[in-house]
Amino acid sequence: MAGRTPAFSIQLAVSDIGTTEAFYAGILEVAVERALTVTGAPEHLVVRQSGCNVIFVDESDVVRAHPVLDERLGSYVKGVGMTLHFTVEDIDGIYDAVMEEGMEILYPLQVTPYGTKELWVFDPDGYLLVLEEKAAR
C-alpha cells in the first residue's frame, strides 16, 4: 500500500506514544510504523490494515497544534462509543500477554458462532478493541 492514499484513516490521541507502540507492536504484534515527519511535526505511529490507517499521535502534540481541543481531550474518556476491530494472529498468545499485563478485558477470549476467536480488550488509553482470528476447524 506504500505510495497509495488509504481508503480511510482515523487519528487517535494517546497519552504516551511509546506505551502505544509497545502495546500494538509488542502485545498485539500488528505492524506499527513510526512515521517519518518533517522537522517540528509531531511524531506519530501508523497501523495499516485493509485500506485503513489508524494514526496514533501523542495527546500533548495534538493540544500544542490545536489548543482549543485541550479541554475536550481532558474532559472525556477516550474512545467512548468507538470500537476498533483488528485481525490478529496467535490470539491465544495475545490473551495470555494481556492477562499477564493486567489489562482491562471487556469480554474474555471466546469462539463465536460465525467462526472466529474474539477478545474484547481496552488498549492503554481506553480505546476498545475487538481482536479477531479465524478459528481452527
Average pLDDT rounded to a whole number, residues 100-106: 95
Among 54-63, 70-79, 123-132, whose mean pLDDT is lowest?
A: 70-79
Confidence band, pLDDT 50/70/90 cuts, at residue 1: very low
Report the alpha-carbon distance of residue 57 to residue 16 in Å, rounded.
Answer: 9
Give the model's confidence band at 8: pLDDT under 50 very low, under 70 low, under 90 confident, else very high.
confident
Q: Which residues contact 113 (CB under 8 A, 6 or more apart)?
A: none
The superfamily CATH assigns to domain 8-134 is 2,3-Dihydroxybiphenyl 1,2-Dioxygenase, domain 1 (3.10.180.10)
